Amino acid sequence: MTRERRPIPARALIVGAILAVAALGLTIVGGVTFLAERDRTLADIDERLISQVDALGQVDELRVVVESGALASAPGTADDFTDLSSYLRAAVSRLIPGRNEASIAAIDGQIAFRSANELSQQIADDPDFIPHAVATARPADQSVIASTTIDSTDLRYIAVPVAVPGDERGGVYIRVVDVTRELEPITVSLVTYTAAALATLAAMGIVGWFVAGRILSPIRRMRETADSITPTDLRARVPAEGNDDISDLSRTVNSMLDRLEGTMGDQRQLLDDVRHELKTPITIVRGHLEMMDVANPADVASTRDIGIAELDRMTRLVEDIDLLSSAEGDQFEISPVNVRELTERMGDLVGGFPGHRWSVAAIARGVIEGDYDRLLQAWLQLADNAAKYTPPGSPIEIGSTVDTTAVHLWVRDHGPGIPHAARRRIFQRFARADHRTVGGSGLGLAIVDAIAKAHLGTCVVTDTDGGGATFTITLPISQGRSETLPSPVRAGDVVLQREAAG
């Protein structure tokens, strides 16, 4: 069994990324600074070595000119140095080497004179340096700066051949610089910089760890909240404090949880209601089947009719549930809807409902944004309810009006009306007014309410003057612009005069 690899915590990733970028930046800055200082120091060493060529001409105020390996004196001082030894002795003793430098004079490949310091002694103890330096000696106009290493010490030197007229021996003046010690301050600075950089990275890591923890704490609480949520308990919410992006995310998650809780609650309520509604027809059918006398054709036919009727009722219930699910699922096709055409179409349709005197009392003219079929469906459902619960032969009016804030689609009946205590409950699933005994699934007004809410509107019930109830679907005016038009309209095959509206 392969063990699942544990992911790296986001807190560690954030701090690691910050430290990696900071370390890269510090390394680049330190490296560039070190290389620049090192090159500057080496250039300064080379400049000092080259200056020794000119300094050879200033020994005891004598200007020496080195040409083609020969030493010639300035006019009037030709006899100051009679041989090569005296000149090289004067050069070594008077051209005092600086710190970390050494002067050496060699005659015929052997050290003749040297400065009295530790570096010159170290060079003298090395048997290979002098032959190597003599081999690299070049005239002043062809001077070459060379490098070598003695006992892990890097040296940089220049070797200049020297000759005095009348002396057949070959001389070489060598100036040596200890590069290791010259670079020592830069090396110490680099070590100090490295220590300071490591301390800075450590401080950044500690501070970054706590800062990242504080920034990520809302996300951690969000994760803990998500872990605590179960299908039966959606009450947990994420604390949302402040005005930063994380707080905005927390509020968005809380809003999502509110919607999920509402949806889950609605689903549980729907299942409870469906279970309750289906229990009755199932019980009825089962009871009649158990008591049916199979030898009695009349009893069998009666039981069959009862079973089919109950199955038809269950079919209507399922269809209404599907309708309600579609209305609540935002399955709408929003387009411009002509309110006048919608009202006239509604008048044509209700004219075919039997048992009542239908009339169109008002028409609002204009265009709104909505789903034409869904709005017509909701309006027809209100008309169907009015026809069911209103005494036969009583008048029912429909109409559309507009005011400064909304468009209203209404159905007005003259029946028994709706008790005030039941006016909110009747829009819930499977709810009915207490005094009503007309059959139905109890989902009609719930469907109307869902369609109205999907259009950012509402559906309310009020009293009708003289008795009865008026159901009104209200759509906010932001959905479109409209106006009431008081002119004759056609309802069924009868031309009716609409009541003045507004």
Q: What CATH code is carried by the domain that includes residue 249?
A: 1.10.287.130
* Same domain, yes or no: 354 and 251: no
* Same domain, yes or no: 121 and 17: yes
* Same domain, yes or no: 140 and 249: no
In the DSSP assignment, the letter for residue 332 is -
The answer, yes or no, to whether residue 493 has pLDDT greater than 80, is no
Q: How far apart are CA 19 and CA 47, in angstroms?
A: 41
Average pLDDT rounded to a whole number, residues 114-127: 86
Question: Where among 299, 326, 353 does a domain terminate?
Answer: 326
* Same domain, yes or no: 445 and 378: yes
Question: Where among 168, 186, 204 does a domain terminate?
Answer: 186
DSSP 231-285: TTB--------SSSHHHHHHHHHHHHHHHHHHHHHHHHHHHHHHHHHHHHHHHHH
* Same domain, yes or no: 145 and 280: no
Residue 230 lies in a domain: no
Residue 232 lies in a domain: no
Of 256, 229, 252, 226, give the one whose Cα is nearest residue 240: 252
Q: Using one digit for the tens of pLDDT, what is the confidence trace for 368-386?
A: 888 888 888 888 888 888 8
The answer, yes or no, to whether residue 17 has pLDDT greater than 70, is yes
Residue 197 lies in a domain: no
* Same domain, yes or no: 123 and 98: yes
CB 159 within 8 A of CB 136: yes
Q: How far apart are CA 238 and CA 153, in angstroms?
A: 67
CB 369 within 8 A of CB 454: no
Nearest 5 degrees, angle CA 34-CA 35-CA 39?
Answer: 120
* Same domain, yes or no: 67 and 94: yes
pLDDT computed for residue 79 by the predictor: 37
Q: How far apart are CA 345 and CA 320, in angstroms?
A: 23
* Same domain, yes or no: 353 and 475: yes
CA 323, 329, 335, 341 dihedral sign is positive
* Same domain, yes or no: 17 and 162: yes
Please identify which residue in the block is written with the tokens 């109890």.
442
Average pLDDT rounded to a whole number, residues 345-369: 85
Residue 151's domain spans which residues? 11-186
The answer, yes or no, to whether residue 477 has pLDDT greater than 50, is yes
Which two structure tokens, joined as six digits, stand for 293?
Answer: 């006398």
CA 137, 141, 142, 145 dihedral sign is positive
* Same domain, yes or no: 281 and 368: no
Question: Where among 186, 220, 235 does a domain terminate?
Answer: 186
Largest CA distance in the chain: 162
The answer, yes or no, to whether residue 159 has pLDDT greater than 70, is yes
pLDDT computed for residue 33 by the predictor: 92
Q: What CATH code is carried by the domain that includes residue 448?
A: 3.30.565.10
Residue 502 lies in a domain: no
Residue 45 lies in a domain: yes
* Same domain, yes or no: 390 and 437: yes
* Same domain, yes or no: 307 and 439: no
Residue 223 lies in a domain: no
**For the whole prediction, is pTM greater than 0.75?**
no
Helix (H, G, I), strand (E, B) or coil at 481: strand
pLDDT computed for residue 263 by the predictor: 75
Residue 425 lies in a domain: yes
In the DSSP assignment, the letter for residue 420 is G
Residue 203 lies in a domain: no
CB 457 within 8 A of CB 325: no
Average pLDDT rounded to a whole number, residues 63-70: 35
Domain count across the chain: 3
Model confidence band, residue 490 (pLDDT cutoffs 50, 70, 90): very low
Q: How far apart are CA 49 and CA 40, in angstroms?
A: 14
